[in-house]
Structure 1
Amino acid sequence: MDEPGPRPFLYIVVCAASVAAGVGDLITAARERGWDVGVVATPQGLGFLDVPAVEARTGHPVRSAWRRPGEPRPLPPPDAIAVAPATFNTINKWAAGIADTLALGILCEAHGTGVPTAVLPCPNAAMAAHPAYRESLRRLRAMGVLFGAYESHDPDEHGRLARFRWEEALELLEPHRARRPPPP
């Protein structure tokens, strides 16, 4: 669905979870709904992606590390952010205000800039039972972060997860969708 004028820009933050390789489904769904998309991976999440395929799909470089002083920004500022899949580690660090990676820095900054952020958590049930995780979810919700229905995942006897509903992130963000004004 190509629309005239600038398309809103969606950052997809990808963490190191077994479903991360399926992020192409979210990229495709977002582009079909009129978003331009850039992917930011956690350092560990980067290893779960086919980076050349993601870059070909988005037309933008996959980001994982801070840019150097003076380097141009490779992605425009986000109009919205989808964190999918979101791991136990990322959720807890984000809630604590720890910005030790590019992905976490973007997430921590999003609160201060008012960028709508949707999260599809993907920890296993044992980690999701930890009291720090529950407190982190509470804190992020209080900050206005939008959460999908998935709060824990356990693999079946073959090591596969139930279907990860990537589109839920877009459904959560749709009421907050905004268009950037065209450049002067």
Structure 2
Amino acid sequence: MKRMILALGVIAIASTGCDEIVFEPVVDWTSPSDPGAPPSPSEPEEDVEPPTPSAIAMRAGDLPSDFDFHMWDDPDSLILVFNSDVQECPPTLIEATCDNAPIWQLILTLPPELDTPGLIDLSDSRIRSRETLSFNDNGCGFGGGWSFFGYRGTLEIISTDETSLFVKLRGVLMNDQVNGDYTVQRCGAATGPATGG
């Protein structure tokens, strides 16, 4: 490359009769000793897999004390805890803060008669909900709390047995990642009229 540039310079001098052309030395733009050099391309960041959302089901009467069980009329209500990350039994309430963003948690409480295969409109006044969301897009934001006036979207219980449920959550506006298909682990035995579907 240097020989080619030098040859072009000689040709230019010979053909134009101009003064001598001076070529600056080739600069290694990746050299950290050159303060005027553009930054070298950074190493590509490793792809980090986002957490896998999960869901757990539990009888209201068996919930840990921090769930404030007194909010439910029937201890046999089905509690579904959807979370932005993997959970273990028993489920835990999460609180949203700037320090743990981004996270989300959605808790739905269904009366025993709804713990059966079928499509459930979450605006049903018998359903209670609690959502928690923290995010860090353009600054931190967080919030959540219990609602006693139904919710929004639908929950379809495809199948249910003593150890798990398979459900589809659709139309929930809290967070795009909440909607989806879940295999829900039961913490404890099923109660109520649930039958396989």
Shorter-normalised TM-score: what interval?
Answer: under 0.3
Larger Rg: 2
Structure with greater proportional strand content: 2
With structure 1 as the length reference, what TM-score do the two structures score?
0.26
Structure with greater proportional helix content: 1
With structure 2 as the length reference, what TM-score do the two structures score?
0.25
